[in-house]
A and B are shown apart, each in its own frame.
Chain A
Amino acid sequence: MGNRAQILIVGTIFLGLALVPLFAELTQTPFYLDLARRMMILAIGALSLNLIMGYGGLISFGHAAYIGIGAYTVGICAEHELVSGFIQWPLAILVSGVFAIIFGLISLRTRGVYFIMITLALAQMMYFLGVSLDRYGGDDGLPLIERSNFGALVDISNNVTLYFIVLGALVLSLFFCKRLINSRFGMVLQGTRSNETRMKTIGFPTLRYQLTAFVIAGMMAGFAGALLANHTDFINPDMMHWTRSGDLIIMVLLGGMGSLAGPVVGALAFILLEELLSGVTEYWQLIFGPFLILVVLFARGGLLGFFADKEQRDG
């Protein structure tokens, strides 16, 4: 990260996150542990969306589908007594990746509004597929009887342990994104966002790089889904509903599109505001909506860019 203010903000956030379990323990409020864990899992989802949306310029309105696919992979494995996390988690990533290849090949034939509509339609298809899976709970959802089992290595049935696993996963995801964005591949992705025609005429077959980014983002979201299944101990089709995809887009916009840590800030702010405002009024979106518009209009770099006082492209 090039900007000191950003490092400071992000560092403070992670320090705060690391202290949440202690705070929850001391104040006997496991609710905060749960809330912060959900924030971090969605932050991984938002980070993955930012790869294609912020750095690739591809606005996917169906990114929650991959979170759902990852979660269902874990749930369905558990349902068939395949409880090893060493199998479940890589499988969740792999299955999401396969879906991302297929959906990417279909949706990347288009750009702009059409791309948004096709990703939305494909994700809704997955939502209805989830609803129709009677064997796996259908509409009602699928309880996860047992969390992913990592044998003697680590026991994530303990809530605090799972919390730190999620925290570690978020740090790793952030680091992975940083490397990816600044790599040769990341430069191609950003160049294509900026001017696809120019990229083609200097010799880049742009589609294959966009597809690769789309698949990497899908796999990362699938990983977030595997975490989410363990977090909620429950998988349901709502995870894939288009409004969930919309939430992810809002998190990215709110935190700062195309800045490395922006989506983390966005996810945290989103969940926090949702929690605070919905405590005040049932119609919390009436307050949240205008707030979002203000952020998008007046803080072009999102919240992170605003507080760090300088838009950062390469994080």
Chain B
Amino acid sequence: MAEIVLQVSDLCKSFGGVLATDHLDLGVERGSIHAVIGPNGAGKTTLINQLSGLLTSDGGKIQFNRNDITKLSAPIRAKMGLARTFQITSVFGEFTALENVSLAVQAHDGHSFKLWHDARRDKALTGPALEALTIVGLEKRQSIKASLMSHGERRQLEIAMALATKPKMLLLDEPMAGMGPEESNRMVSILSELKGTVTILLIEHDMGAVFSLADKITVLVYGGEIATGTPDQIRANPEVRSAYLGDEDFES
């Protein structure tokens, strides 16, 4: 059996009376794409916030590469190689694409108290940044301000920023949200290119994408896991069918 990179045990989070994460157990294997699906409000974004350190958990444990990271801050987790993207695109609008990614490179290379030298001419930043932009196909758009890019491009830019931190694992919160079919296809091919080189926890509503990309799928309802398995197992699971998936989703 493959090695577990991320192990979540008995994880809990509630907002007032709402249980957003309900005693969740989850193990993600190295190099795999593990999808988490579930209806709106199931607690998927909350889970990613807990994993990336933006939300503290009420209980349970998160282990990343066998280290207990439950109590670590978001920047420390990022430095350990846990990168994420946001459901609502989160890039630096007034920076160019290259500057956005350069900043992510800089976060990883650890030298940010340089107060004198021009960061935009720093090859140690722009070199790797351009590589990451090339992976997502944005190299020709490097000097465009992020706020002027299309929605799809900004989602790709976000992936490039996450990749530029040289992550061991990516947490992607609905990377195809709001995309047209063409942009979605492009994102699917980006993710399948990445498959194997980096472990991915993928949250996505586009079932076509999920079933074609994922090695494993976990179905979440009201913060709790109702099933985990291969795409075929999930497709055949009657509980999943009734609880969440409309039949038409299976045809895609």
Binding site for B on A (CB under 8 A): 179-180, 182-188, 190-191, 194-195, 197-206, 209, 212, 313
Contact = CB atoms under 8 A, between A and B. Distances in A.
Given A201-B74, A203-B165, A183 B119 contact: yes
B119 A182 contact: yes
A201 B115 contact: no
B119 A187 contact: yes
A209 B91 CA distance: 19
Interface string B102-143: 111011100111111111101001000000000000000000
B161 A202 contact: yes
B116 A188 contact: no
Interface of B: 52-54, 73-76, 78-79, 83-84, 86, 90-95, 99, 102-104, 106-108, 111-120, 122, 125, 161-162, 165
A202 B103 contact: yes
B165 A202 contact: yes
Nearest to A213: B115
A184 B103 CA distance: 8
Nearest to A198: B90
A179 B78 contact: no
A202 B83 contact: yes
B95 to A, nearest CB: 7
B109 to A, nearest CB: 9
Nearest to A182: B118
A191 B54 contact: no
Nearest to B74: A200
Contacts of A313: 94
Most buried by B among A180, A182, A200, A212: A200
A202 B107 contact: yes
A183 B54 contact: no
A205 B117 CA distance: 21
28 contacts: A179-B117, A180-B115, A182-B118, A182-B120, A183-B117, A184-B113, A184-B125, A185-B114, A186-B115, A187-B103, A187-B106, A188-B112, A190-B94, A194-B92, A194-B95, A195-B90, A195-B92, A198-B91, A199-B107, A200-B54, A201-B54, A202-B103, A202-B165, A203-B107, A204-B107, A204-B112, A205-B73, A209-B112
A209 B112 CA distance: 9
A202 B104 contact: yes
B90 A184 contact: no
A154 to B, nearest CB: 26
Given A197-B54, A202-B161, A203-B75, A179 B108 contact: no
Most buried by B among A179, A180, A205: A205
Contacts of A198: 86, 90-92
Nearest to A212: B113
A244 to B, nearest CB: 28
